Structure 1
Amino acid sequence: MRKLIVLVAAAFAANIAFAADSGCEAKAIDKNGKALAGAAKSAFLKKCEADAKGSDATAACEAKAIDKNGKALAGAAKNSFVKKCVAEAK
């Protein structure tokens, strides 16, 4: 039973990773609409995956951007908080 649970969990994790990767794969096209290949594709995928991880961190940090009174931060205070939070998350 344990082996089955581990196998299902591994398959689920692989499926999530594939779904995230396929989104970047689908976007890997040049300005003429042709699929990227080689080093250009590798560089694009690396940047795309990093951006996806960064956007997750940014969303999480924006949710945490509240002041000591429980009100949402705004403007420069929010930008500063989110920038620091994202840097610490990496």
Structure 2
Amino acid sequence: MKSIPALLALLAGLTLAGGAQAANDQQNKMATCNKEASAKSLKGDERKKFMSECLKKDSATSSAKPTKQQDKMGYCNKEASAKALKGDDRKKFMSDCLKK
């Protein structure tokens, strides 16, 4: 019977830790988007629009590059699609992107 309260305490701790990680991820994303907006010298409505779009982006498309090959492929594919690359240009881009 003592194991049930211990298990509940463990689950509660894991839930809180997951929430803290999500908060840190969001803070990091906000900081990254803010740096990009500042680098582009965006102001007013342009900055608001950029920040909104940047914060909505999937974390896989953020400036941090994924390390696993499948994640890398997904990241590079999204980038190539966003740039509307086709044919040889897309192949070259994908090759260069996957080498990073």
TM-score by length of 1: 0.47
Larger radius of gyration: 2
Task: Name whichever structure is richer in helix by fraction.
Answer: 2
TM-score by length of 2: 0.43
